[in-house]
Structure 1
Amino acid sequence: MADTRVTSRPATGAPRPGRGTAPRLELPPPTGPRAVGVRTVHLVDDDREDPFRPGRPRELMAQLWYPARAGTGAVPGRYVSAAMSPLVVGAWEDWWAEERGCSGLPRGTAAGVAVHGAADAPPAPDARGCPLVLLSPGHAQYRAALTALGEDLASRGFLVAALDHPSDALGVEFPDGRIVPYREPDGLADGDTGDLATRYVPVRAADLRFARTRLTAPGFWWHALLDPSRAGVAGHSLGGAAAAEAMRLDPGLAAGADLDGTPYGEVLRTGLERPFLICQFTADDPEYPEEPRARERLWRGLRGPRHHLLVTGGGHESATDLDALAGPLGFRECTDPGDYADALGSLPEGRGVEITRACVGAFFERYLSGAEGTWCDTGAPPFPEVTAVG
């Protein structure tokens, strides 16, 4: 499902949270044994011109999570770095307000979500041979939207990098203060994916390929922790489509996962020979028949280990942090019921994040770390809401 279909605006006359006191917002703690550190890094691809900004190299911002020295992960950080400009933080909060229906929240609420990665914590001294997992968020979303998943993977021993895709993401700020605003895609109409398929997915796939190469290169600060031969990619919505296309382009990506994304691109023609997970949170919608057709076409082209999970009661945003934060944000109370169901379905608060962490974590443990006895081997995910349909 394309993110452009989820609009989640407040219902007329719906109650809104008061502006007096910000609710306490905190992501669920990671489930793995490791403490988690977090850093932000600026990546510049000098060999590629930015297609949205001619004459400039393609630049990315990435959020890095990694296993940290024991004891350092107890100091919570914040969702959005205080070092970011008010304009970018404001764009992030406006997205929550306008697109997620929480327009009554005090300024600073969304930016102040407590997280569990300790900023710039020293890496765990015994962390060696860690696999890398790249994360790509949904269209127009910020790299922080998959923080709960990123932190959890790091607590399991992975090095994780979530990317902002400039011009596709909300405002992206670079270290010199430049801000790249969001660019609305062209050519979207009923049944027409326009820029999403023909421009955004190829650019994102190239971003992911470059990030994998750069983050595994000798000289990058975490190289001593890394096994560069074991890298994977996962994405939500448009990021899931980009994950599959990036795997087609980059044989260095050994496993991939699509979290409720409609696949686009050449990968539908060529298929893949490496492990791939389709984690579908929304049931097929007869109004959008092209989505199950694309998913089935991808499925038929997966020639390596393949898994298709269907989460009963899920919504398009169930894999994202919104799933864990909707309750204290008052999202249900200030959102049209139909929009709420599209976004989060009928799962209990936090259940989508729990399912995502467990299923995606075990998938990468199986195919990047060689773990045995996971649900990938048994074919039975440990959740009553989750059915292995392939």
Structure 2
Amino acid sequence: MSRRALMISGAALMAVAVATATTACTDTESRIATTSGALPAPSGGVAEFSPAAPTGPNRIGTQSLHLIDTSRADPWVGGEKRQLMVSLWYPTHAGEGEYPSAAWLTKAAADSYLNHVGVGPGKVAFGETRGLVGAPVDRTLGDLPVVLYSPGANASRAFGTGIAQELASRGYLVVTIDHTYDATVVEFPCNRVVMNPDGEIADFGKAVSVRVDDTRFVLDQLELLEAGRNPDVDSAPLPAGIAGALDLTRVGMLGHSLGAATAASAMYADGRIKAGMGLDGGGVGPVVEAGLDRPFLVVDTEGKGGRATNALLQKFWSNLRGWRLNLTLKGAAHNSFGDDAQLIPIALPFAGVSSQDIREMVGTIPTDRALAFQRTYPLAFFDQQLRGVGHRLDGPSPDFPEVAYAR
């Protein structure tokens, strides 16, 4: 398998197959088990991966939702309505051990994923997140601002777990979205795993358009959730206190790579999104020429072709009419963002990827510094734009010499 095919997220897309089962799972106990079931505990010599621990003061609850947009045929495959899996991440007052911890990837999805990228059985074990499945929402924090997360092309919502956990630990409700048949792997209830049926996305304009529709549909479902209705098609139990806990007047969006383009395009299409942040992704579609009148934070790298050399990103930047900031993370590469920053150096050596090729993917920035950026700057941006607090983005910080500012 080529190095291009082994890249876990971003513009590289892997050849994959699609499962044929379509029956939704209605067994509540089975649903909870698959949501929380991690891979077996590793034996000696097995590499382990778990997303970075959050640093905020709150414990974290999580719940997955199975959503179906009955108004829309799936644009990638025939004969079915558009189905999505999303995860909610939010602060909880539950104690450790009161609820099961969610897996980073559930077993069926993890097995499919590792097999495809060429990592042999028993080489890498995915551990648990800090999310407590179904734990009640901490309502003492008041209404929670909402952040949507869209992953890169050929990446799953799990790859944004570290960022989602950090924001949730700081009092946000984060919604991570799987864009089905674009994502590397999506596991629906009853262990139904689907992957990209065509091997790769050739039409990125179409992909962003589909993702924008996905995002707007998810926002509609959050409005139902806020109103006390259960949008999960299998009637999975919802966390206590979720109804009425969302502040849908304060919605932001964050994405990596194609997810960054999705965040910009979704903001252009839907005024409910008040602020957007893109991690190393360019502009796609009408928003490039039209620009935005709301805050947008562009994060780029020197190696991939950031704003300095990317003509579409330059045009998008020039047409931003609201608050704007461009941060360049020195020493980073395209996969220095999201959980890739940790996962690639752990997993891909078992697929035969050289250390030089891994450096091209994740850059020369130390992993702890990449994670420090992800803990700090999304929080600073959404705190400033959705909560009106904080000064981290006023200018360069001696705590982060690797971050360059441009306005």
2:145 maps to 131
1:154 maps to 168
How far the C-alpha of 1:166 sits from its partner, in A, is 0.8
1:309 maps to 327
More displaced, 124-133 or 302-311? 124-133
More displaced, 212-221 or 266-275? 212-221
**Residue 294 of structure 1 is aligned with which of 282, 295, 312?**
312
5+ residue gaps, structure 2:
1-6, 15-41, 230-237
Q: Is the 8 Å Cα contact of residues 216 and 270 (structure 2) preserved in structure 1?
A: yes
1:260 maps to 280
- Number of residue pairs matched by the alignment: 359
- Residues of 2 paired with 1:327 and 1:178: CA distance? 29
Q: Is the 8 Å Cα contact of residues 150 and 259 (structure 2) preserved in structure 1?
A: yes
More displaced, 39-48 or 328-337? 328-337
Q: Is the 8 Å Cα contact of residues 181 and 196 (structure 2) preserved in structure 1?
A: yes
**Residue 122 of structure 2 is aligned with which of 102, 106, 120?**
106
**Residue 78 of structure 1 is aligned with which of 103, 123, 127?**
103
How far the C-alpha of 1:381 sits from its partner, in A, is 7.9
Residue 126 of structure 1 aligns to a residue whose secondary structure is helix
Q: Is the 8 Å Cα contact of residues 136 and 143 (structure 1) preserved in structure 2?
A: yes
2:365 corresponds to 1:365:
no
Residue 37 of structure 1 aligns to a residue whose secondary structure is strand
Partner amino acid for 1:370? Answer: G
Structure 1 residues 284 and 139: CA distance shift in structure 2, 3 A: closer
**Residues 210-225 of structure 1 mapped to structure 2, 5 A cutoff:** 210-217=217-224, 218-220=227-229, 222-225=242-245
**Residue 243 of structure 1 is aligned with which of 258, 263, 275?**
263
1:12 maps to none
Q: Is the 8 Å Cα contact of residues 114 and 120 (structure 2) preserved in structure 1?
A: no
Residue 335 of structure 2 aligns to a residue whose secondary structure is coil
Partner amino acid for 1:388? Answer: Y
1:166 maps to 180
Structure 1 residues 226 and 73: CA distance shift in structure 2, 3 A: farther
More displaced, 119-128 or 156-165? 119-128
**Residue 112 of structure 2 is aligned with which of 80, 83, 91?**
91
Q: Is the 8 Å Cα contact of residues 66 and 160 (structure 1) preserved in structure 2?
A: yes
Q: Is the 8 Å Cα contact of residues 73 and 116 (structure 1) preserved in structure 2?
A: no
**Residue 346 of structure 1 is aligned with which of 364, 387, 391?**
364
1:208 maps to 215
- Residues of 2 paired with 1:289 and 1:195: CA distance? 22
Q: Is the 8 Å Cα contact of residues 6 and 339 (structure 1) preserved in structure 2?
A: no
Q: Report the RMSD for the aligned CA atoms in angstroms.
A: 2.9
Structure 1 residues 281 and 105: CA distance shift in structure 2, 3 A: farther
Structure 1 residues 347 and 258: CA distance shift in structure 2, 3 A: same
How far the C-alpha of 1:142 sits from its partner, in A, is 1.2
1:374 maps to 391
Partner amino acid for 1:205? Answer: V
**Residue 131 of structure 2 is aligned with which of 114, 117, 126?**
117
Q: Is the 8 Å Cα contact of residues 163 and 374 (structure 2) preserved in structure 1?
A: yes
Q: Is the 8 Å Cα contact of residues 256 and 279 (structure 2) preserved in structure 1?
A: yes
**Residue 64 of structure 1 is aligned with which of 85, 88, 104?**
88
- Residues of 2 paired with 1:352 and 1:302: CA distance? 27
5+ residue gaps, structure 1:
8-17, 189-193
1:14 maps to none
Structure 1 residues 54 and 284: CA distance shift in structure 2, 3 A: closer
How far the C-alpha of 1:257 sits from its partner, in A, is 0.8
Partner amino acid for 1:211? Answer: V
Q: Is the 8 Å Cα contact of residues 380 and 387 (structure 1) preserved in structure 2?
A: no
1:46 maps to 70
Q: Percent identity?
A: 33
Q: Is the 8 Å Cα contact of residues 267 and 273 (structure 2) preserved in structure 1?
A: yes
Partner amino acid for 1:252? Answer: R
How far the C-alpha of 1:172 sits from its partner, in A, is 2.1
- Residues of 2 paired with 1:54 and 1:66: CA distance? 35
How far the C-alpha of 1:260 sits from its partner, in A, is 0.7
